[in-house]
Structure 1
Amino acid sequence: MKHQRDESGQWLAGLSKPMLSLRTFLTAHDEMQRRQARRMAINATDMQALRLLDLHGEMGPTELGRRLDLRSASVTVLLDRLEATGYVERVRDERDRRRVTVRALPDALELLFDTWAPVVRALDDVGHGLTPEQQEVVSAYFDQMSAVLAGDVVEY
């Protein structure tokens, strides 16, 4: 399939206004995530790992690597870095000493919260500024977009 460019030379000509806004939002989010990671003196992938551990709780290195789309060796290096900073710990299973679980430490989660809370609150203020009807439309749009991304429906 040949992709078209718009008059400015950008790929994917004819994108809807919501899609263009979403693309701008995602770019701003990526840049902000890198800034937030720098504030914590870690890189963006380390930040993603901490956010996953905060969201889903402790998990094995294999599961963390799958969620981050990293190879085993890269996960080991990532965990070594986060462990050295005191942000995570590896815990051996009592019954099966070969099994290791990774858990974010409370101080790391507190720092993560302190770093992100002002941003989340500011974004939430935007949502609270919408009428209930507008909130429903925006929520439906994001729910549909999330379903598309979660379904992995795009063929490459």
Structure 2
Amino acid sequence: MHERDESGHWLAGLSEPMLSLRTFLTAHDDMQRRQARAMGINATDMQALRLLDLHGPIGPTELGRRLGLRSASVTVLLDRLEASGYVERERDDRDRRRVTVRALPDALELLFETWAPVVRALDDVGHGLTPSQQKAVCGYLDELAAVLGRGVGADS
């Protein structure tokens, strides 16, 4: 269990980088919700589109695993995205039971148009760092990613 300060607050004693990361993640979550609204979809739908953009066509089961959704919820999500013209489900020619989901080009273009200005603005911050600062930031973030990749504190 994490130690708490005398007031009972668990954030006490966390490092300044960790507190800054927490602030960044909160801002990121808020941005994701705003970006999803700008696209006319909810945040989970946008996450699904981003996963399909990143990984290419994948099966509904894999998409649900990556989103942390149950099968029925994935079906509802895909029905909604398909009705909006953002994705299509394709049956495998050899095994008609297998379905692959892919984002349609217009959806990926909308995703790009919505996110490109944000990504460029964030990238400008990185370009403003000295090479040694960039190396330090990358090292810190890579170590955090490794900790998360090990599933520390996860149930599964």
For residue 4 of structure 1, what is the aligned residue in structure 2?
A: 4
How far has the Cα of 1:153 moved from its partner? 1.7
Quote the sequence identity (%). Answer: 79
**What amino acid sits opposite 1:96 in the alignment?**
D
Q: Number of aligned residue pairs: give it.
A: 155
Measured at CA, do residues 145 and 40 of structure 1 come closer, stay the same or move farther in structure 2, by a change above 3 Å?
same
Q: Map of 1:86-97 to 2, 5 A cutoff?
A: 86-97=85-96
Residue in 1 aligned with 2:47?
Answer: 48
* 2:83 corresponding residue in structure 1: 84
Normalised TM-score (structure 1):
0.95
Say whether the 8 Å CA contact 2:2–2:10 is kept in structure 1.
no
TM-score, with normalisation over the residues of structure 2?
Answer: 0.95
What are the ranges of 5 or more consecutive residues in structure 2 without an aligned counterpart? none
Quote the Cα distance in structure 1 between the aligned partners of 2:152 and 2:53.
Answer: 27
Could you list the per-position Cα deviations for residues 87-127 of structure 1 after superposition, in whole angstroms to 9, with x for gaps in the alignment?
00000000001100000000000000000000000000000
Q: Which amino acid aligns with 2:4?
A: Q
Is the 1:6–1:14 Cα contact (8 Å) retained in structure 2?
A: no
Aligned to 1:28: 27
Partner of 2:98: 99
Alignment-derived partner of residue 110 in structure 2: 111
SS at match of 1:67: helix
SS in 2 for 1:33: helix
The 8 Å contact of residues 90 and 103 in structure 1, kept in 2 or not, is answered as yes
From the superposition, tell whether residues 127 and 88 of structure 1 become closer, same or farther in structure 2 (CA, over 3 Å). same
Shift of 1:155: 5.2
What SS is found at the alignment partner of 1:35? helix
1:3 is displaced (CA, Å) by 3.9
1:14 maps to what in 2? 13
Seen in structure 2, the aligned counterparts of structure 1 residues 94 and 6 have a Cα distance that, compared at 3 Å, is farther
Whole-Å separation in 1 of the counterparts to 2:111 and 2:6: 40
| Distance in 1 separating the partners of 2:154 and 2:52 | 29
Letter in 1 for 2:68: D
Shift of residue 150 of structure 1? 1.3
CA distance in 2, matches of 1:110, 1:132: 33
Asked whether 1:153 is paired with 2:152, we answer yes
- Aligned-residue CA RMSD (Å): 1.4
The Cα shift of 1:6 comes to 6.7
Q: State the partner residue of 1:74.
A: 73
Q: Is the 8 A contact 1:83 1:89 kept in 2?
A: yes
Task: Give the letter aligned to residue 93 of structure 1.
Answer: D
Secondary structure of 1:48's counterpart equals helix
